[in-house]
Amino acid sequence: MGSQWGADKYYRRSKGEGYRSRAAYKLEEIQRKFGLIRGDDNVVDLGAAPGSWLQFVKGITGGVIIGIDLNPIVPVEGTHTVKGDFTKKEIQDKVISLTGENNVGIVLCDAAPQFAGNKSYDQARAIGLNEGALHFACRILKPGGNLIIKSFQGEMFQELLNEIRQNFYAVKVYRTKASRRGSTEVYIIARNFNGKINAETD
């Protein structure tokens, strides 16, 4: 069981600072350590609801900021929100219409599937979601762009890392302090997209 104190600490802080969820502090920590989001980047956030990452990002970049989720996102001033499945070509085309072709500096993905309680099944669904985010990034990132994906260590995780390393020059696995204690949650930090792959979509 995770640390209740830790959960309360970040929950209380998010409410006090106006963020929609404690997840904002995970991205804040990653940005402080790695500096992946640049001041002129166009940014796409996959699985963006409820919008705390959009809130954080708009304080960093003057570029176009887009959040995509299957669920509606309450609008965040200065950002675009899209309701739909990011693996679908029509959603990706909408992103391109807002940013231009291969003109996104970073893709963020804090999405996770609804877990059913079956470890192997849940892990397979999580990795499948990660692969969808990777393929999305390979279609819309500009050369040299960056990617942050939330994942879970377990079966198929190493295979996912290997696939990401084929597309980015530097890849690291990082665990944030705001992640719940005992969770297998990690973030894959992928820098400098090599621009070699244009992923196929439905």
122 among the known binding-site residues?
Answer: no
- Answer yes or no: is 85 a known binding residue: yes
202 is in an annotated binding site: no
Q: Find the catalytic residue in 15, 33, 150, 177.
A: 150
Q: Is 69 annotated as a binding residue?
A: yes
Check whether 93 is labelled as a binding-site residue. Answer: no
Sheet with 43-46: strands ordered across: 80-83, 65-69, 43-46, 104-109, 141-152, 185-193, 168-174
Question: Which stretch of DSSP H or E encloses residue 130?
Answer: helix 119-140
Distance CA 112, CA 73 (A): 16
Q: How many residues does the chain have?
A: 202
CA dist 122 and 129 (Å) reads 11
Whether 142 is catalytic is no
Distance separating alpha carbons of residues 133 and 130, to the nearest angstrom? 5
Annotated binding site for S-adenosyl-L-methionine: 51, 53, 69, 85, 110
What residue numbers does the annotated binding site cover?
A: 51, 53, 69, 85, 110
Return the active site residues: 150
